[in-house]
Amino acid sequence: MIKLPDLAAIESAAELVYRSMQPSPQLSWPLLNERAGCEVWVKHENHNPTGAFKVRGGLVYIHHLLDREPDCAGVCAATRGNHGQSVAFAASARGLPSVIVVPEGNSPDKNAAMKAFGAELVIHGRDFDVALEHARAIAGERNLHFMPSLDANLIPGVATYALELFRSIQQLDRIYVPIGLGSGICGVVAAKLALGLSTEIVGVVSSEANTYALSFAAGEPVPTDSADTLADGLAVRNPSPDALALIREEVTDVVTVTDEEVLAAIRHYFTDTHNVAEGAGAASLAALLKSNDCSGKRVGLVLTGGNINEALFRRALAS
């Protein structure tokens, strides 16, 4: 199981994060409350410098990496977009080169953003899992540090968004958290435990990339053959055994949402809050809207990112 940071470690990570960005807001929107039938607080990680929560983990990870390896030649990672932007942003801030591997058909907007943040972009493979193996190979060939999407050294930074939310909004009954490989939900668990809270944590995955839902129910990793979802931040076929163990111990449930439900949630975020959400970022709202047990509750939603490409956003608004 992943070793979680304590409160002191998360607060120390926050000090590093705030050298490069401000805390993101948590806002309650009247129209969204009406739609959901409960008091909703949105954690706006779409307002971060890279448009997603991942940047927090990248900043802290690379800071400690350079403490350990001051002569590091550079970093390499695989991504569908937000982890790659985090790596490129944090590496460039410290003068490090970065190589980011994405699968074929990846979001052109996310690809462009990674290059703009200074990354060398490599396109390889049919999905994230294939790109991941290629990134490991490149790291070995070029003597680069491979930077995983899920690692204990990422969790303290990622947990800072949950610490902000839990300290700002008292007595949240439940929080819905999208699950890709698992760093975000592990960070939420870490902050909840560090503060001694009773908030229910519900993980959200795509019905088209449901490895964590299947694994949560089975009590062991259940890989899938595909992860073909428009919510690219959720497009994972193989769960992390360490993250799964933590999720099964500390998370109330893992629920699925369809691509059509995600598209509707993207549209609702725009009409009700005038915020742009990518697929994974809208998944938590989609899960809340299909639940039937939140009336009268105070609920948190993690809008993990807003990096949606124009064609998909147009599709969401037209649906």
Mean pLDDT of 107-136: 93
Question: Which ranges of the chain would DSSP assign to H, the alpha helix?
Answer: 7-17, 30-36, 54-68, 82-93, 108-116, 128-142, 155-168, 183-195, 211-218, 241-250, 259-273, 279-290, 310-318
117 within 8 A of 49, measured Cβ to Cβ: no
The answer to whether the 7-52+152-318 and 54-146 domains have the same CATH topology is yes
- Show me where the domains of the chain are located: 7-52+152-318, 54-146
Query: CA-CA distance, 279 to 264, in Å (whole number)?
Result: 10
pTM: 0.94
Where residue 246 falls (left for φ over 0; alpha for ψ -120 to 50; beta otherwise) is: alpha
Count H helices and E strands in the chain, helices first: 13, 10
Token pair, residue 230, equals 């428009």
φ and ψ at 67, to 5 degrees?
A: -65, -40
Q: Is the pLDDT of residue 54 over 90?
A: yes
Percentage of the chain modeled with pLDDT above 90: 93
Cα–Cα separations (whole angstroms), residue 85 to 65, 147, 155, 162: 17, 12, 17, 20
- pLDDT at residue number 99: 97
Residues contacting residue 307 through CB under 8 Å, at least 6 positions apart:
50, 51, 52, 81, 82, 85, 107, 109, 110, 113, 278
Q: Is the pLDDT of residue 249 over 90?
A: yes
Q: Is the pLDDT of residue 158 over 80?
A: yes
Domain at 7-52+152-318, CATH class = alpha beta
Query: CA-CA distance, 160 to 45, in Å (whole number)?
Result: 11
pLDDT, one tens digit per residue, over 191-202 is 999 999 999 999
Give me the CATH topology for the region 54-146. Rossmann fold (3.40.50)
pLDDT, one tens digit per residue, over 5-18 is 999 999 999 999 99
pLDDT, one tens digit per residue, over 255-284 is 999 999 999 999 999 999 999 999 999 999
User: Coil, helix or strand for 206?
Assistant: strand
